[in-house]
Amino acid sequence: MGYRDDKTWPDRKPSALGRPLGRGDSLVDSGTRRSPFVSNRGAALAFMEGALEGWPLHQLVTWIDQCLIRPGCLMTRYPFPRIFINEPDVGVISYGPPSTSDAPSTFLPHAKATELIRWSRKKVAAALEGMLRASPDDRFVQAALYDGRVSRTTGRNGQRGWNVMLTEEHSLSEQILALFAADLLDHREDYEQHLVVCESCEVIDFWPERLSRRGCPAHPQAVVSGSVRRITLSR
Ligand SMILES: [Zn+2]
């Protein structure tokens, strides 16, 4: 996972918000020489776990800062913490000191953030679930490559990898899917063999010892039954 070594780590102080993430320990890729570093998979899984727990807005903002902005994956129109978060089926949230040019009525109330986060997660989970099928459906990877959210990169040491480059125009679900897509391109077997989408609790994980790809360690019995309950995108 050394492919991000070619990126410059912004010399910034710790997050002004400073609140811990739900899965803090798994965020740091200990395999890199540069610190601090958040792997694409660690970042994406932290979001999936936090969203399942019902993250409020401030925790999403902390995650965006630590996992997208600091690693240089997300270009924002204004300096952090001014950010916009959108999910087309829900709306746009504006966070941070307002700009005089912004019309407040065009944005969702912050109380709606958890709903937006849950909906984004559901879209991501539905896309990932495609990898569990007999003929894996990786269209989310093709989409991320096609619109430039993920692209080839070559590090200073010549090692090739995948670069994630996002803007606030990309929906939150597109941002998360880009992280998974970049990870999949380096670790396709993990997604085709070990990815688990639990049909009981909706946990997403990688679990080589799994009995079923639709049962997490807490619900391994969601096992070998023939019936498949797919994630449906209805709100
Ligand atoms: Zn489960």
What residues have a C-beta under 5 A from ligand 1, the ion?
A: 198, 200-201, 203, 216, 218-219
Ligand 1 centre to CA of 205 (Å) is: 10
Task: Give the pLDDT of the chain (235 residues) as one tens digit per residue.
Answer: 333 333 333 333 333 333 333 333 334 443 333 335 689 999 999 999 999 999 999 999 999 999 999 999 999 999 999 999 999 999 999 999 876 666 777 899 999 999 999 999 999 999 999 999 999 999 999 999 999 999 999 888 888 899 999 999 999 999 999 999 999 999 999 999 999 999 999 999 999 988 889 999 899 875 555 555 666 676 6
Question: Domain residues of the chain, as ranges?
Answer: 2-187
What distance in angstroms lies between residue 164's CA and the mean position of ligand 1's atoms?
Answer: 29
pTM (2 decimals)?
0.81
CA–centroid distance for 12 within its chain: 22
CA distance 127 to 64: 21
- Compute the distance from residue 174 Cα to the ligand 1 centre, in Å: 24
Q: How far is the CA of 218 from the centre of ligand 1 (A)?
A: 5
Centre of ligand 1 to C-alpha 166, Å, is 31
